[in-house]
Amino acid sequence: MSPLTNALIRYWRRLPDEPLTARRRAIETLCERVRAGLETRAALVPFALGDVDDAVVGAATRAYVASAATAEEHEVFLTEAAEWVRRGLALNRGAVFGALLDLEDALACERLASLRLGLSAAEVENACRALRVLPGSPAARFLSEWLELIADGPLQRERRALLVALEGGESARAA
């Protein structure tokens, strides 16, 4: 078995017994350790792929991409995280997608563009739930383009989630 498979199995074994608050504290601590260079970015992957909680998955995904030291690494790490969504590797694909979109990064939006119509309605809602979109930002443009793609189709639940995310960004900015 691969080291990642072993890490995921260990993570899933302790998941039922570990309360959500403990997992959230653990990912906070791990993110700090990765930023400080005390852990490798690979330690974040079981949290990003194996957890179901939006906050845990989002923090692990953002920290994974943020661990890049160069522009080239940033592109590679973004692409890897987008692959977690495309290949269905993450249990909470919506949270990974939302975390990448929340980076407000044009490259992240580019990587996510081909994936957005492959998400289920629940995953779209999940992706949009924690977004704080600023008007004119890469994420706002991305969501607006997405809305245009589904405007006249049957994806009304997805449309509502996108509108709420865009309106939330407007509200957050005004507040």
The answer, yes or no, to whether residue 170 has pLDDT greater than 60, is no
- Per-residue model confidence (pLDDT) at position 169: 53
The answer, yes or no, to whether residue 175 has pLDDT greater than 50, is no
- Per-residue model confidence (pLDDT) at position 174: 38
Convert the pLDDT of each residue in 83-115 to its tens digit: 999 999 999 999 999 999 999 999 999 999 999
Average of per-residue pLDDT across 130-159: 87
Average of per-residue pLDDT across 113-133: 92
- Per-residue model confidence (pLDDT) at position 15: 79
Question: Taking the model in full, what pTM does it have?
Answer: 0.89
d(CA 107, CA 79): 9
Q: How many CA atoms lie within 13 A of 106 on its CB side?
A: 2
Convert the pLDDT of each residue in 30-81 to its tens digit: 999 999 999 999 999 999 999 999 999 999 999 999 999 999 999 999 999 9
- Per-residue model confidence (pLDDT) at position 7: 81
Convert the pLDDT of each residue in 143-157 to its tens digit: 999 999 888 778 788
Q: How many residues are present in the chain? A: 175
